[in-house]
Amino acid sequence: MERQTLIQAAIDALPGAYVPYSHFHVAAALLCGDGTIYTGINIENAAYTPTVCAERSAFFRAVNEGKRHFEAIVICGGKDGMLTDYCPPCGVCRQVMREFCDPATFRVILAKSQEEYREFTLEQLLPMGFGPEDLQ
């Protein structure tokens, strides 16, 4: 049930993607430890490099609001907003997840619809990642 709610939140956010250059819409829905959900969309830029991914949009919204504990993220996306394939998170977004999430338990859910999804732990997507504890 919780997974279906999160998938729907990501799908609902998809039309808000600001993608005048790639036309590749991405949306994410991030579940916080307290049960709240933050969505994010990709926001592109005429200078290209300032573009921010949907996953980081969601994380930075939540972190700005004081959230520090996260359970799962749903990601969906595709050309012209069509969810024909899974949209895996880029390496930079995986690293941002690594900053705030337990790699063994944080779930990354790639969704095409309520029925079609694949679920991974962050550890599966970013093995032997560099995290805050490495600076201790």
Q: How far is the CB of 26 from ligand THU (least distance, A)?
A: 3
Question: Would you count residue 14 as binding ligand THU (CB under 6 A)?
Answer: no
Q: How far is the CB of 1 from ligand THU (least distance, A)?
A: 26
Q: Measured in whole angstroms, how far is the alpha carbon of residue 100 from the centre of its chain?
A: 13
Of 32 and 86, which CB lies nearer to ligand THU in the complex structure? Answer: 86
**Of 3, 8, 16, 24, the one binding ligand THU by CB under 6 A:** 24
Tell me how far apart the alpha carbons of residues 90 and 109 are, in angstroms, rounded to a whole number. Answer: 14
The residues that bridge with 27 in the sheet, in sequence order, are: 41, 76
**Of 8, 51, 95, 121, the one binding ligand THU by CB under 6 A:** 51
Annotated active-site residue 65? The verdict is no
- Tell me the angle at which helices 91-100 and 54-64 cross, rounded to the nearest 10 degrees: 20
Q: Which residue matches tokens 């307290």?
A: 34
Of 19 and 37, which CB lies nearer to ligand THU in the complex structure? Answer: 19
Question: Would you count residue 111 as binding ligand THU (CB under 6 A)?
Answer: no
- 8 backbone φψ class: left, alpha, beta (φ>0; ψ -120 to 50): alpha
Is residue 11 helix, strand or coil? helix
Instruction: Point out which residues bind ligand THU (CB under 6 A).
Output: 19, 22, 24, 26, 42, 44, 51, 53-55, 89-90, 93
